[in-house]
Amino acid sequence: MDVSAHIEAVYAEVRRRDPGEPEFHQAAAEVLTSLTPALERHPEYAETGILDRLCEPERQLMFRVPWVDDQGSVRVNRGFRVEFNSALGPYKGGLRFHPSVNLGIVKFLGFEQIFKNALTGMAIGGGKGGSDFDPKGRSDGEVMRFCQSFMTELHRHLGEHTDVPAGDIGVGAREIGYLFGQYKRITNRYESGVLTGKPVAWGGSQARTEATGYGAVYFAQEMLATRGEGFEGRRVVVSGSGNVAVYAVEKVHDLGGRVVACSDSSGYLVDEDGIDLELLKEIKEVRRSRISAYAEAKPGARFSARGTVYDVPCEIVLPCATQNELRREDAVALVKKGVRAVAEGANMPCTAEAVDVFQEAGILFGPGKAANAGGVATSALEMQQNASRDSWTFEETESRLAKVMRGVHAQCRETAEAYGGSPDDYVRGANVAGFLKVAEAMTAQGVI
Task: Sort strands 91-97 and 163-167 into parallel, antiparallel or unpaired.
Answer: parallel
Question: Which H or E run contains 375?
Answer: helix 374-388
Contact at 8 Å (CB) between 198 and 180?
Answer: yes
Q: How many CB atoms within 10 Å of residue 285?
A: 14
Q: Cα 259 to the chain's mean position, in Å?
A: 21
Cα angle at 240 between 131 and 359, to 5 degrees? 105
- CA distance linking residue 428 with residue 416, whole number of Å: 6
Residue 222 Ramachandran class (φ > 0 left, ψ -120 to 50 alpha, else beta) = alpha
CA distance 44 to 49: 9
Spatial distance between the Cα atoms of 448 and 435, rounded to a whole number of angstroms? 17
Which one of the listed residues 128, 251, 284, 437 is annotated catalytic?
A: 128
Give the C-alpha distances (Å, rounded to integers) separating 36 from 2, 42, 45, 217, 219.
10, 10, 11, 30, 26
**Does residue 369 carry a catalytic annotation?**
no
420: left (phi over 0), alpha (psi -120 to 50) or beta: left
> Alpha carbon of 207 to those of 192, 250, 398: distances in Å?
17, 13, 6
For 224-256, letters b (16+ CB in 10 Å) and e give beeeebebeebbbbbbbbbbbbbbbbbbbbebe
Q: Catalogue the active-site residues.
A: 128
